[in-house]
Amino acid sequence: MRIAITGGAGFIGKRLADALQQDGHQVVSIDLSEETPVDITDRQAVINAVSGCDAIYHLAAAHRDDIFPRSIYYDVNGKGTKNVIDAAEANGIDRIIFTSSFAVYGLNSGTPDEDSAPHPFNDYGKSKLEAETHLKLWAEKGEGRSLAIIRPVVVFGEGNRGNVYTLINQIASGKFLKIGSGKNKKSMAYVGNVADFLKFCLNGPEGMQLFNYADKPDLDVNEMLEIIYKGLDKEQPSFSLPYGIGLGAGYAFDGLARVTGKNFPISSVRIQKFCADTTCSAERCRQAGFEPRYSLEDGLKNMIDHEFAGRKKAKAA
């Protein structure tokens, strides 16, 4: 098959492209970082880029916590998705696999399954839910169409520069200070398993399928920190900052970011997310027949060995 991937040069997109190519598929990467850049907010450019393709993986998104103005989330994640839909219709493509986000459920939402009502708390989650609505309407309008919506939790792994990398880097640099008790649990997903599951969804049935994706069992923050400190050969301190004080500092950095236009590793959203229970049910993907290759501990160790091996060797020397 000839398969388009929006965001194909991104963290998950690269891993997915490799997996699809290993299975003999031809991949068309649609990304601003490619030699011929394509912006998904450019409708005609997307239509042209997917010409001749049999399926579209829609991964491109505005996803950082610190994007300003907030309208960018809706321009990229909402209108960009409508452009992908228009491109599919213009080229007779009837199969789309979309990476949404666990953020559509909101903070402290218990352990939602795919039937739980979404309550997004930030613009990223709201814009992803908007994208889902556009895609569901597309799937319902045409006979023979296949839509898979995957709502992954935090995805980490080699080459990632997201929140898990930031956490490990802060610990490796001796700049991490734990906020809260650490007893809150986190559903997480290793990129190798996510790419495998996305590939698995390529052969899904007609109609719409909705999946949460997380690798199980969940870790709480203390368990995750223990794995990271051990992987870095570092001793874990016992002190932690009370949540209220940490959140106040986050709001202060929010204001500083607006005034200076700079990005800071601390923000109120990141602290809220770090200290919240963010767990989900992910049984449906297993019931569909998917079995992940890696455990969460495997994934964290792989990431640490790939990204931080130099620091460990320097210490050992």
Entry field: residues in the chain: 317
Catalytic residue numbers read 124
Exposure string of 1-29, with b = 16+ CB inside 10 Å and e = fewer, is eebbbbbbbbbbbbbbbebbeeeebebbb
- Alpha-carbon distance of 83 to 115, in angstroms, equals 27
Exposure string of 139-163, with b = 16+ CB inside 10 Å and e = fewer, is beeeeebbbbbbbbbbbbbbebeeb
| Amino acid in position 110 | G
- Alpha-carbon distance of 83 to 77, in angstroms, equals 10
Judge residue 223's burial from the number of C-beta atoms within 10 Å of its C-beta, 0-12 exposed, 13-18 middle, 19 or more buried: middle
Neighbours of 181 (CB within 10 A): 13
Kind of pairing, strands 215-220 and 185-190?
Answer: antiparallel
Partners of 267 in the β-ladder: none
